[in-house]
Amino acid sequence: EADEWFQIGNTYDDEGRYDDAAEAFRKSIEALRKTNCAPAATAAAWLNMGFALNSSGRKQEAEAAWETALLASDCDDFVRSNLVLLSQSVADLDPAAVAALADVLHELGAFDPELPRKLGCQTLVTGSELHRLRKTGLSRPTDLTAAQDLFARLFFIGVGVERDEVDAVWSPSVVHHLRRCKLLADVLNSRFCIGTLQFFSFSGLLIMTDWPSETLGSIDPVMSIGTDSMELCLSL
């Protein structure tokens, strides 16, 4: 029964019947609660319910569903690749904050022209490559500093990083400035994740964009330059 409602929810979602899809996923969850199901099945149902609610314009309900999905999952890869769903925000473009951010990014080695190569990517890191790395993880090369590794995982790939690891690698000042610009979000009370923008490294420059639509479930990555990312990119 749970799988049947799950498939019905997917069908409704494909048809654009988002409220009906959310209800179907809710019924799937109810059915799963009556059985000794694997946490992964429950997490998947909550995750898809969040997608349906988000598409229906019910943002707060969607975020609550996604948080429940992440808390219900027993799979670190699932949590790592979906934490970004909880970290959407509007960047703070206060001139003083942006000026401090530029210095912070230099300190972290974010403008290193060799950074894409060190990540094992081509000269221009594409959305598809970053999405793949978010699902598979990043094997840190020896010539990538700990600060760059953390920056890449958070701001290029979009995975969640344990708060203790952030505190061990970055100074309180760095964390303060990144949070001040709302580029770093505290999620699930245990991890940091990037906020509303994604970074691309290209020949020593940082290109900023809104998150690719595949972050919210699309098969094909679609990048868009929003107002926040454009203004921040020009400022830096």
Distance CA 19, CA 57 (A): 10
pLDDT in tens, 158-186: 777 888 989 999 999 999 888 888 788 88
State both tokens at 15. 């048809």
Mean pLDDT of 1-9: 91
Distance CA 63, CA 69 (A): 10
Q: Which of 4-18, 58-72, 125-139, 143-157 has the lowest mean pLDDT?
A: 125-139
| pTM, 2 dp | 0.69
Alpha-carbon radius of gyration of the chain = 19
Q: Which helix (H) or strand (E) holds 207?
A: strand 205-210
Distance CA 207, CA 164 (A): 28
* Cα-based distances in Å from 170 to 80, 83, 164, 204, 223: 20, 20, 10, 21, 29
Cα-Cα end-to-end distance for the chain:
53
Residue 89 · residue 196 · CB < 8 Å:
yes
- Beta strand 184-187 pairing with 191-194: antiparallel
SS3 171: coil
